[in-house]
């Protein structure tokens, strides 16, 4: 198994270095250019949209709840373990390339969320379903491609991501609360602490996902923002008490991004190491272009697809520019005595850095925080899997229940099994999902630009809350299939917004 894990890691690194990162950045730049840097021009609108996104659900899922689901997936162990791994293997410069991926990825996230809204479908319970599989089938007229993406997503999110996330926090919890315990007889070498963590994982996962997507939305609506704020506040305190190191750390990140050799002892480095690790961990963390977050974006009830596009784009900014950067600064401030400490690895480096600055009492709270980060990603991954199972089965209830049970059981298994093979396989699965999704985004770029023009035209005409019409809209290449956007009365879209010249 060790050899298989090593081979998978080699393949994952090769795909990332030679294919994924270049296509990801190129697509982000292309979408940035054709939208005239939507992520920069409309940043104030993104913040405004989030501020007013808790209402208007009309019995469905609010725009903020959909944002919270994707934020719960984004702000997970990738922000703690992933950043630490990027620093250990790529050096401080990897953080710079994480920033690059995030900034161009904001345009990518805008497009995939907007398209998910345009081509979404109404489920039997009155909520919406959508995502790459839906816009591949509806926009590209390729049910085969949509089906392929849906199968990969169901397997990756239902089995792999859930088990990987639980595997990440289980080790931290056991080390913090049950280290030194001996294995229990008859339980395959597992300790009491491991069994307790596994049982806790199953109960907490099942109690939420068995309630369906609405249940996940209600939980993540408050949990995702609170956990992000607590973590950022903790890290911000450390940064403020070490202001003298702030400028030096920033310089390390910028210099390391272009240094031919590692610039700090105890950390990796070099240009290619920084680029590869920064890109790979940036993608794992913020998900821009991966095709997972649009599954949550489509569930929102909004009057115009661009509204959710703005919100999801801001989610990438929060994840990488705010949360990941905060983690990197704490680790770099802690210094070489933390990076080179015996036993230091991606799973414990952030905790070591925080305890170095604030004291050993932080180990237990950090273990709990990492648990919440990973748990939020597990229940969000269930949503992604459920949406794509709905696409494959036409929304059959039995299929949704299969996804719920699989998500709960795979999370439980991940808490007690060694998953080196799964950890390395997840990068390959995500690369396949990402490349497939990016092809769709480029193919449907005229749709994304057209929807944005429609929104901007209405705003320029003085409409405070633009309303989207999917039929007879001259900004679009064709009418939107389905009936989700066809029922909007013609009078809700003012003449100035529809009659202006392109």
Q: Is 214 exposed, middle or buried (0-12, 13-18, 19+ CB in 10 A)?
A: middle
Closest CA to 196 of 419, 411, 420, 416: 416
**Matching residue, tokens 């990897």:** 94
Q: What integer pLDDT is reported at residue 448 of this predicted model?
A: 94
Contacts of 308 (CB under 8 A, 6+ apart): 63, 66, 67, 113, 114, 116, 117, 297, 298, 300, 302
Instruction: Please give the Cα distance from 173 to 165 (Å, whole number).
Output: 13
Phi, psi of 190 (to 5 degrees): -85, 145
| Terminal CA-CA length for the chain | 58
Strand 128-129 to 121-122 pairing: antiparallel
Q: Are 497 and 457 in contact (CB under 8 A)?
A: yes
Domain count, the chain: 1
SS3 category, 300? strand
- Among 24, 73, 50, residue whose Cα is nearest residue 295: 73
| Poorest-pLDDT segment among 183-187, 235-239, 243-247 | 183-187
- Answer for the pair 416, 190: CB distance below 8 angstroms, yes or no: yes
Q: Which of 90-104, 248-262, 478-492 is the least confident region?
A: 478-492
C-alpha to C-alpha distance for 242 and 237, rounded to whole angstroms: 9
pLDDT of residue 193 exceeding 80, the answer is no
Nearest to 239 by CA among 102, 354, 92: 354
The answer as to whether 473 is a domain residue is no
Establish if 481 belongs to a structural domain.
no
Is the residue at 382 inside a domain?
yes
> Taking a C-beta distance cutoff of 8 angstroms, is the pair 119, 283 a contact?
no
Tokens of 367: 């273990």
Q: Is residue 489 part of a domain?
A: no
Look at residue 187 and tell me if it is in a domain.
Answer: no
What's the token pair of residue 16? 């990332």
CA–CA distance, 113 with 49 (Å, rounded to integer)? 14
Domain-embedded: residue 470: no
- In the beta sheet, which residues pair with residue 129? 121
- CA nearest neighbour of 92 among 327, 357, 319, 322: 327
The answer to whether the beta carbons of residues 419 and 163 sit under 8 Å apart is: yes
User: Exposure of 492 by Cβ count < 10 A (0-12 exposed, 13-18 middle, 19+ buried)?
Assistant: middle
- Work out the pLDDT band at 201, boundaries 50, 70, 90: confident
Q: Which of 169, 197, 5, 206 is nearest to 78 (CA)?
A: 169
Supply the pTM of this predicted model: 0.82
The reported pLDDT for the residue numbered 116 is: 94
Residue with tokens 């009309």: 58
Q: Which domain holds residue 84?
A: 1-180+192-461
pLDDT per position as a tens digit, 163-192: 877 877 777 676 666 555 555 555 556 677
pLDDT tens sequence across 79-129? 777 788 778 777 788 888 888 888 888 999 999 999 999 999 887 777 788
Q: Is residue 132 predicted with pLDDT exceeding 90?
A: yes
Tell me the percentage of the chain whose pLDDT exceeds 70. 80
Contact 420, 3 (CB under 8 A): no
61, β-bridge pairs: 300
DSSP 100-143: HHHHHHHHHHHHHHHHHHHT-EE-TTS-EE-SHHHHHHHTS--H
Is the separation of the CB atoms in 472 and 443 below 8 Å? no
SS3 of residue 61 by DSSP: strand
DSSP 78: G
Angstrom distance (rounded) from CA 161 to CA 406: 12
Q: Give the integer Cα–Cα distance in Å for 372 and 227.
A: 7
CA 40 to each of CA 173, 211, 252, 296, 341: distance values in angstroms, whole numbers, following the listed order? 40, 38, 26, 23, 41
Q: Write the CA distances from 2 to 5, 6, 170, 403, 421, integer angstroms.
A: 5, 6, 21, 30, 8
CATH code, 277: 1.20.1740
Q: Tell me which residue has tokens 């995502």.
A: 131
Q: Is 411 left (phi over 0), alpha (psi -120 to 50) or beta?
A: alpha
Helix (H) or strand (E) holding 313: helix 305-316
Residue 252 pLDDT grade (very low, low, confident, very high; cuts 50, 70, 90): confident
Look at residue 413 and tell me whether its pLDDT is greater than 90: no
- Which of 53, 97, 98, 70 is closest to 315 using CA atoms? 70
In a domain, 484, yes or no: no
pLDDT band at 490 (very low <50, low <70, confident <90, very high): very low
Q: What pLDDT score does 187 carry?
A: 53
Are 95 and 82 contacting, i.e. CB atoms less than 8 angstroms apart?
Answer: no
Angle between helices 363-393 and 63-74 (to 10 degrees): 120
In a domain, 200, yes or no: yes
Return the pLDDT at 498: 37
124 CB neighbour count, 10 Å cutoff: 11
């Amino acid at each position: 198994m060790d050899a298989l894990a090593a081979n998978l890691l080699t393949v994952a690194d090769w795909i990332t270095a030679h294919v994924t990162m270049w296509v990801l950045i190129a697509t982000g730049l292309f979408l940035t250019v054709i939208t005239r840097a939507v992520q920069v021009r409309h940043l104030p609108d993104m913040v405004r949209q989030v501020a007013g996104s808790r209402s208007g659900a009309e019995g469905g899922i609010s725009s903020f709840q959909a944002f919270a689901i994707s934020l719960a997936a984004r702000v997970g162990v990738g922000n703690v373990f992933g950043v630490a791994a990027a620093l250990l293997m790529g050096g401080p410069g990897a953080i710079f390339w994480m920033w690059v991926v995030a900034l161009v990825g904001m345009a990518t996230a805008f497009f995939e969320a907007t398209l998910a809204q345009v081509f979404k479908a109404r489920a039997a319970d009155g909520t919406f379903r959508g995502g790459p599989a839906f816009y591949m089938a509806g926009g590209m007229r390729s049910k085969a491609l949509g089906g392929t993406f849906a199968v990969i997503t169901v397997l990756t999110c239902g089995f792999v991501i859930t088990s990987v996330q639980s595997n990440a926090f289980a080790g931290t919890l056991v080390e913090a609360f049950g280290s030194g315990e001996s294995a229990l007889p008859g339980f395959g070498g597992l300790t009491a602490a491991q069994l307790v963590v596994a049982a806790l994982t199953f109960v907490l996962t099942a109690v939420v996902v068995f309630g369906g997507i609405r249940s996940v939305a209600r939980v993540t609506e408050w949990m995702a923002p609170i956990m992000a704020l607590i973590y950022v506040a903790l890290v911000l305190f450390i940064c403020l008490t070490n202001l003298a190191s702030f400028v030096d750390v920033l310089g390390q990140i910028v210099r390391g991004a272009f240094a031919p050799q590692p610039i700090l002892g105890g950390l990796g480095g070099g240009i290619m190491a920084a680029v590869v690790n920064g890109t790979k961990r940036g993608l794992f963390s913020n998900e821009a272009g991966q095709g997972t977050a649009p599954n949550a974006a489509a569930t929102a009830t909004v009057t115009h697809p661009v509204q959710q596009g703005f919100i999801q784009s801001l989610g990438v900014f929060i994840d990488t520019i705010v949360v990941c950067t905060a983690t990197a600064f704490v680790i770099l401030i802690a210094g070489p005595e933390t990076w080179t400490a015996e036993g230091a690895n991606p799973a414990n480096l952030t905790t070591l850095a925080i305890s170095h600055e604030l004291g050993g009492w932080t180990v237990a709270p950090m273990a709990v925080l990492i648990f919440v980060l990973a748990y939020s990603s597990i229940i969000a991954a269930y949503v992604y899997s459920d949406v794509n199972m709905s696409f494959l089965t036409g929304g059959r209830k039995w299929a949704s229940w299969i996804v719920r049970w699989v998500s709960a059981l795979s999370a439980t298994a991940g808490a007690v099994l060694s998953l080196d093979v799964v950890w390395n396989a997840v990068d390959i699965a995500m690369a396949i999902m990402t490349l497939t999704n990016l092809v769709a985004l480029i193919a449907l770029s005229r749709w994304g630009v057209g929807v944005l023009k429609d929104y901007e035209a209405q705003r320029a005409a003085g409409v405070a809350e633009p309303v989207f019409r999917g039929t007879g809209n001259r900004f679009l290449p064709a009418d939107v299939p389905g009936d989700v956007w066809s029922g909007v009365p013609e009078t809700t879209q003012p003449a100035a917004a529809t009659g202006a010249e392109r």
